[in-house]
Amino acid sequence: YVLCIPGAYVYFAVLFWGANIPLTIVDLTGRPAWVKKYKIQHGKNEPVDSQLFWRLIKTVCFNSLVLNLIFIYPLYKIGEWRGMSFDPEDTPAASWFLVELVVFAAVQEVMFYYSHRMLHHPSLYKRFHKKHHEWTAPIGLVSIYATPLEYLVGNSTSVYCGPLLMGSHVTSAWLWYALSFFVTTVHHSGYHLPFTPSPQFHDYHHMRFNWNFGTLGILDRIHGTDAQFRKEIHSKRHRFSTWPEPMDDIFPDDRPKEKLR
């Protein structure tokens, strides 16, 4: 109980703020300066608007510190019901964890894509999802800048359902949560840094609004909701980078832009 309630609460907070504090320092100070060359939307949020930023901080603190506290106990009880193990002797082999990882990612893709696309319906968008799209050029903290309904039903549930469905060991669940939180932060960071997952796909969603609803892009391809993205230069830049050269230098835009070096 101590591990899964207070422990999980602290764990989630450390994951989120540990990933976002360094990014936020860069966003607010522009330091270190070399990071600026990896920015996807050059000139946007440079500097970050202070009024919009403090509104962001209030919502993010509420979601990460209050809503997570409310959500953890039901999550623990459902995990117990599903047979999740907390015994160190039951820790799964790496090969089985890889199988689970595929299932977790597939569950998240399905749940997030359809819930996210539903929130873009005109009857729901203004009330439940418009808040998240106040940031057309997102920063890391925007990953959980959402109304309570969107945060709990759309964002959190899509992450937590995979381990609950599988009745996974707590080790598998926590490793998945760490990976998912990190990737979600990167997808909203606004920077396409080397050796990190590409944020181009979701950043494009914030730029263009009605494209790229999923996480992996599989359902977007099936439903054709990535069609415009694939026509633009951003799709060429959407790849894992192993070079120090920024993607917009490797795949330059036809339009001239100021070099922010």
Name the residue ranges covered by the structural domains of the chain.
6-194
Residue 31's CB is within 10 A of a number of other CB atoms, namely 10
Q: Rounded to whole angstroms, how far apart are CA atoms 173 and 87?
A: 13
Structural tokens at position 152? 């709990």
Q: What is the pLDDT of residue 200?
A: 96
pLDDT tens, residue by residue, 167-208: 999 899 989 999 998 999 999 999 999 999 999 999 999 999
pLDDT in tens, 4-28: 667 777 888 888 899 899 999 999 9
Mean pLDDT of all residues belonging to the chain: 90
pLDDT(139) > 90: yes
Q: How confident is the model at residue 78 (pLDDT cuts 50, 70, 90)?
A: confident
| Count of CB atoms situated within 10 Å of the CB of 251 | 14
pLDDT tens for residues 88-113?
888 899 999 999 999 999 999 999 99
Residue 258, pLDDT score: 45
Q: Over 50: is that where the pLDDT of 259 sits?
A: no
Average pLDDT on 28-49 reads: 89
Give CA angle at 182 (13, 17), nearest 5°: 30
